[in-house]
Amino acid sequence: MPAIRLFGRKWLAASDDLVIPGLFEITFRVVWLILIALVYVRYYNHTWRCDSGGDYIRAYLNGMVVLLVVQIVVLIALVNRSAQGSITDESARRHVPPLLLLKIFLILPETVLNIFGTMWAFCGDIIVCHHEEEFSKTVIEALTLLNWTLFGLAIFGFALVFDPLGSKRYHEIQETPGGGESLRHRKATSLWQRRFRWAFCWMRSDEYGNEAFRQVAALLSDLFRSTDLVPSDVLAGCILLRVKQKKETREMRRIQMLSHDDLKYTTDVHKIFVFAPKWMNLENARHFLRLSIAAYGWPFVMYRHCVTGICRLMSQVTCCACFRTKSTIVTDDNCCLCNLAGVKDISKLREEDILFASFRNNVFELPFCIITDHKTSSIVVAVRGSISLRDIFTDLTAGSDQFEAEGLPPDTMAHKGMIEGANYIYRRLKETNILDKARSLYPEYDLILTGHSLGAGVACLLALKIKPKYPDVKVYAFATPAGLLSREAARLTESFIFTIGVGDDFIMRLGVDSAENFRTGIIQVLHASRLPKYRVLLNGCGYALFGVPPCDLESTWKKDLSSPPGRSPLLEPKEIHTITSSEEAGILTRDISQRRFSKTRLYTAGRILHIVNRKKTKTERKNGTGGPSYEMRWATAEDFMELKVMPRMLYDHLPHNVYNTLDTILREQRDDISEVTHI
């Protein structure tokens, strides 16, 4: 890094990205040279006796030997120069662009020679030689085909690293002091919108879809705006952030041990819930999480039971349901009501207990079910989480927007996509009047909203909208996204929203603000790293398999991680010459007032219970004894404002992992009670 510049434009590759590809190509060229040399020894003298085309064969053999030697030498020099210096040490790799240009121009003679090889291998009427040798013929045919394949891959590689915004004209007009957008930013937003329309042309085109495309395009354009990062820099930055975060975790643990602070987490479930309302308990949470999972329908059944899933669904489907009278109100399901079958299989409920089910799924329009739960005497609204590309666009429409509901501060802001999702369900509830009908049938039943991930965020906002009419509403939210509500509104929800998060779940930490902090963190660790990029990427493979060794926590860095970078090659070159060092520090700061996309910081709603895996003590490891598998604490929304790069950050978000965690805690709690009773 920074992005390499060739032919007067910027590309989506850096000067230190050529080490590993170059080593692979050197290996390939050496093998190729050996095979050509064998053909040269075995066949060259026979070319003088060819009836026609002998000159082509000799030109091909001589030219390929010379060309391969030159290519190998250039590749060795290119790999050597690309491996020099740390990631931000641009001057150590100043010879890479001219070497790369030489490598690119060598494609021209290679193409000409490959035409000669094709004529020899496949055009018998042009080259006529009576001496036929199967080894030489087979080698030339294979190498010719492989060379054309590599030529096609080279074109494909150029297309991958081509930056549509790499032209100099997009860097000439910068942001104006009054806050105007640069030409580059406008072009980037327009480019992302065109990509979305082309890639997702099958999605319904309406005002909601177009608005989602526009919002997501603006977010992606702003996220790495004013930086000169390439994709490999982001990958290396994630690996370095993992090392940095583990280093900070060990330092914090050591500080806590030296200061003898009480541990925040505990395995005592009774101690955790002693001051919590009675309805906030793990037994109810596990039960309503099952109903949240049920809202995912048949895709989740197939995901969890790849082999037996069809059998499970077949026992619940209603064949030719569109021609039958249904007792349950179901909309936008297929003819056999497969989604409803998935709901019944996961929830273990009768069809009569499902009062309403909408499986309509578009941008800002989420499936949901209304269930009569006789076990807990509750009417449950279960909102489905993200499972389709349409849901992802709802998630990524993450800018803050005005959110109005009775009882909230007038300046309350919330996640725009989830506001639209909550408004959609609210309209459907008013149109069908299903909640009033259910309450009239079961007036003594509680009203519960529940959801996982996107469904949790929408359920929280929906509860705020219906709370004036149903003041006793409660919410069980699981893995709620971080960027949901402004702080004062989030505090108001702590009395009726129970949020549960597990481990290193990255969705609970994902928001516009945390993503921008993540961008800043990547730039900081790339500056602080003393290792070349290829070493970072190779170390990352080892970390994925064996974890981060303690020696790497210190040996990776060349400077203090907390200090901001100085004059940065990671910023756009035009900007480097037009801003002061204080302004540059402002670009890299974590201060929310310097953000480009959103001026309002959003937080997780509700009272948050955070559950993590418990590390066994030395005594337990020595004696081989067990002990509780998890520990927990009441967390604050501010604890989830920083993205963490952890091995389990994706797995901890999955709904079945959250369910298994709650189930394990309750099972171990019952076992402990049984042991005490037995004693």
Domain ranges of the chain: 3-163, 231-256+512-601, 262-511+620-678
Per the CB < 8 A criterion, the answer to whether 515 and 223 are in contact is: yes
Q: What is the pLDDT of residue 590?
A: 44
Q: What is the pLDDT of residue 12?
A: 85
DSSP assignment, residue 493? G
The Cα 145–Cα 114 span in angstroms is 9
**Tokens standing for 500?**
């549960």
Per-residue exposure over 365-379, b if at least 16 CB sit within 10 Å of its own CB, e if not: bbbbbbbbbeebebb
The Cα 475–Cα 477 span in angstroms is 6
Q: What is the pLDDT of residue 211?
A: 73
Q: What is the pLDDT of residue 216?
A: 78
Instruction: Please count the other Cβ atoms lying within 10 Å of the Cβ belonging to residue 178.
Output: 5
Q: What is the pLDDT of residue 459?
A: 97
Query: How many angstroms from the chain centroid is the CA of residue 230?
Result: 16
Question: Which residues lie closer than 8 Å to 40 by C-beta, 6 or more apart?
Answer: 61, 65
Question: Which residues lie closer than 8 Å to 61 by C-beta, 6 or more apart?
Answer: 36, 39, 40, 43, 44, 47
Residue of 392, 382, 401, 347 lying closest to 463 (CA atoms): 382
Q: Give start and end residues of each alpha helix (H) in 83-133.
A: 96-105, 107-122
Q: What is the pLDDT of residue 354?
A: 92
The low-confidence residues of the chain, meaning pLDDT below 50, are: 172-180, 327, 564, 566-567, 573-593
Assign residue 399 a region: left if phi > 0, alpha if psi is -120 to 50, beta otherwise? beta
DSSP assignment, residue 565? P
Give the residues across from 358 on adjacent strands: 331, 368
Sign of CA dihedral 281, 287, 288, 292: positive
Task: Please state which CATH number belongs to domain 262-511+620-678.
Answer: 3.40.50.1820
Residue tagged 């955070």 (tokens): 610
Q: What is the pLDDT of residue 202?
A: 57
Q: What is the pLDDT of residue 43?
A: 80
Q: What is the pTM of this model?
A: 0.83
User: Which residue spans within 354-512 are E strands per DSSP?
Assistant: 354-358, 368-373, 378-383, 400-402, 413-415, 446-452, 474-478, 497-502
Q: What is the pLDDT of residue 581?
A: 36
**Tokens standing for 416?**
């725009």
Q: What is the pLDDT of residue 471?
A: 93
Sign of CA dihedral 377, 378, 379, 385: negative
Per the CB < 8 A criterion, the answer to whether 49 and 13 are in contact is: no
- Alpha-carbon distances of 404 from 396, 420, 466, rounded to whole Å: 21, 12, 12
